[in-house]
Amino acid sequence: MSTTATQAGLNERLNDYYELTKPRVVMLIVFTAIVGMFLATPGLPPLEPFLLGTIGIALCAASAAVINQVVDRQIDARMSRTSRRPIVQGHVGVGEAYAFAALLGVLGAGLLIWRVNALTAWLTLASLVGYALVYTLYLKRATPQNIVIGGASGAAPPVLGWVAITGEIHAHALLLFLIIFVWTPPHFWALAIDRREDYARAGIPMLPVTHGDRFTRLQILCYTVLLALVTLLPYLTGMSGVVYLVAVLGLNAGFLWYAVRLYLTTAAPLPMQTFGYSILYLMGLFTALLVDHYVPL
């Protein structure tokens, strides 16, 4: 075998492992954790817990993502959105994937315990178990409220980041948790509407499958209204200032515009447009919190 072919095979192998970790999801998790770290201190966070906490949280999030793909491999095979994942395609074996997940989890948790603090490590492990096992193994298959209940794991990263810097859970960190917790249902249900046939074929009781599109669209609108109210709390409690307020009012207007249109019309592109906006919304909101923290207005 030529050197070029060997290198190409190695690159494909590395890419398979990379895709196992759901890199786009992990990047969003790490981003919100990092913002939590910056918001936890009036100045810049200390370098060591910032860097090592970020790496540890990222490794544990990647571990949870790998376990999710192993557990969901039969479901993924029935869904067009996930049918090309490495385990489904046979590029990575089940035992191999579990070993990779264990390595990531042990490295991440060990780093957090050893160089950050024990509370961050235990909260991160609880989040990993909540997503990879409680949500994936049970809730996802058991109830159309799966994403609502399971959303607690996905809402934890800013709390993890905050605790990595301070060693304690603060009320402001819980506000960040609440924002992501309320954001998760309209974000994910928009995708579920677009992929309803996929979920029905896989036997997953997502809300559009069990209660229909119309009811799901109403729930998205209701949760978006609730989200618009919840995201005012950082300003109302003095956690943030006018920079954040102006930004979040604009972001909420955009999300509500999508949610109202989604409820009033069944235009095919709208669910995925809403889903896409919801990701930009969360990134914009946390960026606004970060900018507001350091802009003296």
Q: What is the reported pLDDT for 267? A: 87
pLDDT of 296 > 90? The answer is: no
**Percent of the chain at pLDDT above 70?**
97
Of the candidate ranges 18-22, 28-32, 115-119, 281-285, the one whose mean pLDDT is the lowest: 18-22
**Percent of the chain at pLDDT above 90?**
81
Q: What is the reported pLDDT for 248? A: 98
Residues 151 and 175 in one domain: no
- With both helix axes pointing from N to C terminus, report the angle between 157-166 and 171-194 in degrees, rounded to the nearest 10: 160
Q: What is the CATH number of the domain that holds 69?
A: 1.10.357.140
Residues 211 and 237 in one domain: yes
135 vs 173, higher pLDDT: 173
Please check whether residue 213 lies inside any domain of the structure. yes
Residues 188 and 60 in one domain: no
Total tally of structural domains belonging to the chain: 2
Residues 150 and 182 in one domain: no
Please check whether residue 9 lies inside any domain of the structure. no
Residues 110 and 177 in one domain: no
Q: What is the pTM assigned to this prediction?
A: 0.95
Residues 152 and 223 in one domain: no
Predicted confidence band of residue 137 (pLDDT cuts 50, 70, 90): confident
Residues 214 and 157 in one domain: no
pLDDT digits (tens, 9 = 90+) for 32-68: 999 999 999 999 999 999 999 999 999 999 999 999 9
Residues 179 and 151 in one domain: no
Q: What is the reported pLDDT for 297? A: 64
Mean pLDDT within 18-26: 93
What span, in angstroms and rounded, lies between the C-alpha atoms of 245 and 177? 18
Please check whether residue 159 lies inside any domain of the structure. yes
Please check whether residue 4 lies inside any domain of the structure. no
Residues 34 and 145 in one domain: yes
pLDDT of 151 > 90? The answer is: no
Q: What is the reported pLDDT for 93? A: 93
Of the candidate ranges 142-146, 167-171, 205-209, the one whose mean pLDDT is the lowest: 142-146
Q: What is the reported pLDDT for 252? A: 98
pLDDT digits (tens, 9 = 90+) for 235-251: 999 999 999 999 999 99
* DSSP string of the chain, one letter each residue: --HHHHHHHHHHHHHHHHHHT-HHHHHHHHHHHHHHHHHTSSSPPPHHHHHHHHHHHHHHHHHHHHHHHHHTHHHHHH-TTTTTSTTTTTSS-HHHHHHHHHHHHHHHHHHIIIII-HHHHHHHHHHHHIIIIIIIIIIHHH-TTHHHHHHHHHT-HHHHHHHHHHSS--HHHHHHHHHHHHHHHHHHHHHHHHTHHHHHHHT---HHHHHHHHHHHHHHHHHHHHHHHHTTHHHHTTSS-HHHHHHHHHHHHHHHHHHHHHHH---TTHHHHHHHHHHHHHHHHHHHHHHHHHS--
Q: What is the reported pLDDT for 10? A: 78
Structural domain range at position 292? 170-297
Q: What is the reported pLDDT for 71? A: 93
Q: Are 185 and 219 in contact (CB under 8 A)?
A: yes
Residues 294 and 188 in one domain: yes
Pick from 169, 195, 220: which residue ends a domain? Answer: 169
Mean pLDDT within 106-129: 96
Residues 157 and 73 in one domain: yes
Mean pLDDT within 9-24: 88
Residues 115 and 151 in one domain: yes
Q: What is the reported pLDDT for 229? A: 98
What span, in angstroms and rounded, lies between the C-alpha atoms of 56 and 78? 33
